[in-house]
């Protein structure tokens, strides 16, 4: 029996599964099998991006799954090099073709750089045409998120950001909640850095519940109201990551995990000029 994954309503009423499957850094040659395994395990929310260079493989897995389209929630993202009103429309058409879809569930601006205002105008238009069910952003810090909202018609439905026990983003989440933007975590397991899987606080809580550290972290995020998209290429890990809906962390356990916050990214500094330059000039054609 496949797990029943709860959904959360976005600000336009679209229902988004609270747990999905991410394919960041999954090589294109492995992606079709990985996504097929994930769908077989019960995942119905798949997250990819043009920059991951594996949209076609995701599309093949979707097509061969036999799962009705209305049971799936598919996300992809617009890269910086394709920013701007006309560029974004062309990039969207390319992504849709690679995925083999007629309608996309969620389209995100991948990074807050380049002409993302032009991109947002294009995405608003595509949304009005019914080609995208919901539009959002990724990696937007509060100042850029507020600025985008203040000067456009559609409030982003989602902001996908780095969120995990060592970088918890609680103030950012509070603001997003006030604005009606759903927080979604990329790298929910901190990409395994800083000895997350052997952290004594997390391991003690995991042992108390008969769960793994990964399951505790995913459950902690979901209880905070954060949508999660863990990645794995191993079927047993995929199944493990789905098995988080039969446990409830106590207020004390949630508070203990809260003490692990360092307030700093473990992956990428979006305020570092050299990093911003790299993101703004990188191409993934």
Given the residues 52, 107, 116, 141, select the one marked as catalytic.
Answer: 52
DSSP code of 156? P
CB 101 within 8 A of CB 123: no
Contacts 24+ apart (CB under 8 A), 202-205: 202/165, 202/257, 202/260, 205/249, 205/253, 205/256, 205/257
Q: Is 116 one of the catalytic residues?
A: no
CB 71 within 8 A of CB 44: yes
For the chain, state the CA radius of gyration. 18
d(CA 40, CA 62): 11
Tokens of 211: 């769960």
Q: How many CA atoms lie within 13 A of 272 on its CB side?
A: 9
d(CA 144, CA 150): 10
Known binding residue 277? Answer is no
Residues serving a catalytic function are: 52
Binding residues for substrate: 110
Binding residues: 110
């Amino acid at each position: 029996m496949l797990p029943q994954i709860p959904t959360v309503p976005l600000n336009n009423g679209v229902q988004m599964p609270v747990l999905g499957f991410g394919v960041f850094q999954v090589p294109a040659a492995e992606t079709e099998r990985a996504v097929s395994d994930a769908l077989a395990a019960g995942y119905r929310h798949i997250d990819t991006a043009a920059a991951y260079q594996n949209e076609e493989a995701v599309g093949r897995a979707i097509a061969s799954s036999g799962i009705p389209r209305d049971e799936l929630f598919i996300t992809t993202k617009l890269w910086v090099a394709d920013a701007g009103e006309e560029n974004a429309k062309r990039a969207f058409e390319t992504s849709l073709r690679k995925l083999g879809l007629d309608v996309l569930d969620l389209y995100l601006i991948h990074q807050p750089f380049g002409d993302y205002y032009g991109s947002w105008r294009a995405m608003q238009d595509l949304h009005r045409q019914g080609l995208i069910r919901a539009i959002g952003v990724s990696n937007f810090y509060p100042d850029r998120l507020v600025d985008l909202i203040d000067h456009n018609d559609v409030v982003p439905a989602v902001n996908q950001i780095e969120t995990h026990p060592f970088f918890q983003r609680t103030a950012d989440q509070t603001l997003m909640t006030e604005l009606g933007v759903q927080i979604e975590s990329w790298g929910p397991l901190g990409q395994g850095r800083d000895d997350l899987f052997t952290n004594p606080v997390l391991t003690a809580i995991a042992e108390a519940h008969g769960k793994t550290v990964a399951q505790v972290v995913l459950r902690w995020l979901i209880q905070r109201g954060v949508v999660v998209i863990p990645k794995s290429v191993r079927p047993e890990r995929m199944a493990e990551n789905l098995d988080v809906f039969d446990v409830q962390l106590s207020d004390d356990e949630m508070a203990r995990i809260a003490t692990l916050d360092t307030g700093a990214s473990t992956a990428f500094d979006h305020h570092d000029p050299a990093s911003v330059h790299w993101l703004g000039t990188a191409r993934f054609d």
